[in-house]
Structure 1
């Protein structure tokens, strides 16, 4: 399997920026982008989309509850239950997956997002060192883990 090239990685950074800018009119600050050398400490709410076809792997969006609550309130949503927070992080992961298909080609197959609650460690399954983007939006931290390779 081949690694992602710099343009493909840049696409994910720009996709995260674009998502927040469209939703909130405020871009997040990308605080780092790096190759993880160990398991990652994620946040309480996680959305995961799995890729197959021309690429193999998954993207994990991990966010704390306060960030998700603020995003829901911006959308006029008043139900800030844990189920709604899980739905929100799953939708963000799904949106990033859909954007990836536009950029990486129609042969990319994307799963329905999985939604997990709990701040457990994020483990790489495809790459020894997955790509990680950390960000802050409205003073709230988040991360996106890109654990995928070309077939």
Structure 2
């Protein structure tokens, strides 16, 4: 863990595992460490929230757009072949980032402010930011990265 970051890869992973089991999968064990080396996203989708208090940072979830569609289907209880609207994609993937960020914020010594989630195909700017920590995870065999940045 970076000396300035209030949480580490283990905590990020544990929080994500709990959230996915409760919100998306209905059971534990479908989210775990990614063991296949570095990931390269071809058609990425990013969702993020920012924390403002003692620690000012951004929590970013990044995955393939097709994986985000699967996450949305799981979260909304949709069938495997149901079409995901752009509104549902933005709302639901943003909500996952919001819940992950909110749970990480709960680890801070004081409870500051969490922004509304943002969702975009382009990652948020990192100029002037430092990547504190993160986790590359496998959800049902598909890559998902959660990273924490200073802002």
Answer whether TM exceeds 0.5 for this pair. Answer: yes
Residue of structure 1 equivalent to 2:114: 110
Q: Find the partner of 1:148 among 130, 133, 150.
A: 150
List gaps (5 residues or longer) in structure 1: 33-39
Measured in 2, the distance between the counterparts of 1:115 and 1:103 equals 24
List gaps (5 residues or longer) in structure 2: none
The C-alpha deviation readout for 1:71-118, integer Å capped at 9, x for no partner, is: 232332345023322222211110012112322244322111111124
Query: More relative contact order in 1 or in 2 (CA 8 Å, sep 6+)?
Result: 1
- Could you tell me the TM-score, scaled by structure 2's length? 0.75
* Alignment CA distance shift 1:121-1:96 (3 Å): closer
Measured in 1, the distance between the counterparts of 2:143 and 2:28 equals 14
Deviant stretches of 4+, over 4 Å: 40-43
Residue of structure 2 equivalent to 1:48: 48
Measured in 1, the distance between the counterparts of 2:28 and 2:68 equals 15
Residue of structure 2 equivalent to 1:37: none
Aligned-pair RMSD on alpha carbons?
2.8
Measured in 1, the distance between the counterparts of 2:69 and 2:97 equals 16
Q: How many residues align structurally? A: 138
1:41 deviation in Å?
5.3
Is the partner of 1:144 in helix, strand or coil?
A: strand
State how 1:18-57 maps to structure 2 within 5 Å: 18-22=18-22, 23-24=24-25, 25-27=27-29, 28-31=31-34, 44-57=44-57
Residue of structure 2 equivalent to 1:88: 92
Measured in 1, the distance between the counterparts of 2:106 and 2:132 equals 22
Residue of structure 1 equivalent to 2:62: 62
- Could you tell me the TM-score, scaled by structure 1's length? 0.75
* Alignment CA distance shift 1:139-1:50 (3 Å): same
Measured in 1, the distance between the counterparts of 2:96 and 2:55 equals 20
